[in-house]
Amino acid sequence: MKIIMCIFGLAALAMAGETDLQKILRESNDQFTAQMFSEVVKANPGQNVVLSAFSVLPPLGQLALASVGESHDELLRALALPNDNVTKDVFADLNRGVRAVKGVDLKMASKIYVAKGLELNDDFAAVSRDVFGSEVQNVDFVKNVEAAGAINKWVEDQTNNRIKNLVDPDALDETTRSVLVNAIYFKGSWKDKFVKERTMDRDFHVSKDKTIKVPTMIGKKDVRYADVPELDAKMIEMSYEGDQASMIIILPNQVDGITALEQKLKDPKALSRAEERLYNTEVEIYLPKFKIETTTDLKEVLSNMNIKKLFTPGAARLENLLKTKESLYVDAAIQKAFIEVNEEGAEAAAANVIRVVKKKFRVIPPVLKFYVDRPFFFNLKANDQSLFNGICLQP
């Protein structure tokens, strides 16, 4: 019988201190994000991409706790978590961390839809409630249009109407037993906003042979900056109000350097090593406004990340999920992600559907200039956790 997992994400940036649990989560998230970023970019050649690997973690954590045997072990390996107790502690801390972020609108919510007449396994119900904060609701999946409508309405409410029509009614039928949903939403204002009147059309080099004009925000700001030789790039980090959230922009030194950068970012530690080079300075920034929406087939992406048994009938072993003797498996998984960056700040959203079924006197140097006039990588962070990332090939 089918299970559906839905995950939704909208991100803002935030940074804070780090506990042992936060370190475990960061390492898990860094590894998972690097892998998923690589696979999503590969699946969308020549296209702008935004994804929220962070928003995939909670539903996968839930399904790991709902499974047994090899499928359970496969999920924990993918999440880089050692056992169920650490998994529970990490995700409980994740939810507390999201609630503690100040200065931005950042929230996360989870919900599990269960087929009419069925119940969650008692232990799993307690874990879902106490660890993941999941609501539970019974729905009649046979009435697929009504069920999809209810799920999609919940998603829209959690993502400020940024993610719509996540679940196709045709994906629900009499064999659907459960839909797992996780929503994360972020909206943040720049600590130092761009002045709209200074925005003007400037050249953006899509490639060596193609240049277009795009609305470009211009401002002299105190940010964190670094040259990163190992990435053949330079980068900035701009904070949002509250100083607990930020956006990183990595700009390849070459117009056609984005593909090489993508390859280097496959290393889960590449981004954190680059961040260690950042220092505070004044930079004149030229940054295009951009808006990106991406729909990703998570079933294909996760399968390429060696999460296979979850999607295989008879091998998923989701025996701790529902009070049923039926053999359950994840039938489909989809993520819809959205991000918009403008003079005020950023708003981002992502949704996944998985069907189960960081003063001396010195000579002041010239102001650095950071021209984002070619394809670039971006990363939105909260509590030092990457929430959203992607590439912009053409604003």
Each residue's pLDDT, cut to its tens digit, for the chain (395 residues) gives 444 444 443 322 222 334 688 888 989 999 999 999 999 999 999 999 999 999 899 999 999 999 999 999 999 999 999 999 999 999 988 888 888 888 888 877 788 888 999 999 999 999 999 998 888 899 999 999 999 999 999 989 988 888 888 889 998 999 998 888 877 788 889 999 999 999 999 999 999 999 999 999 999 999 999 999 999 999 999 999 999 999 999 999 999 999 999 999 999 999 999 999 999 999 999 999 999 988 888 889 999 999 999 999 889 999 999 998 888 888 888 888 888 999 898 877 766 656 565 233 344 456 799 999 999 999 999 878 899 999 999 99
Q: Which residues contact 142 (CB under 8 A, 6 or more apart)?
A: 116, 173, 174
Helical segments of the chain, H only: 20-43, 57-66, 69-79, 84-100, 122-130, 144-158, 258-264, 270-275, 298-304
Q: Which residues contact 263 (CB under 8 A, 6 or more apart)?
A: none
What six digits make up the tokens of 104? 């931005």
How many angstroms separate the CA atoms of 154 and 161, rounded?
A: 10
What six digits make up the tokens of 324? 């049923």
Q: Are strands 368-371 and 279-288 parallel, antiparallel or unpaired?
A: parallel
DSSP per residue over 213-267, as a string? EEEEEEEEEEEEEEEEGGGTEEEEEEEBTTSSEEEEEEEESSTT-HHHHHHHTTS
Query: Which residues make beta-bridge pairs with 356?
Result: 3, 178
Domains in the chain and their CATH numbers? 2-189+291-356 (3.30.497.10), 196-290+361-392 (2.30.39.10)
Q: Rounded to the nearest 5°, which phi and psi values hold at 326?
A: -70, 150
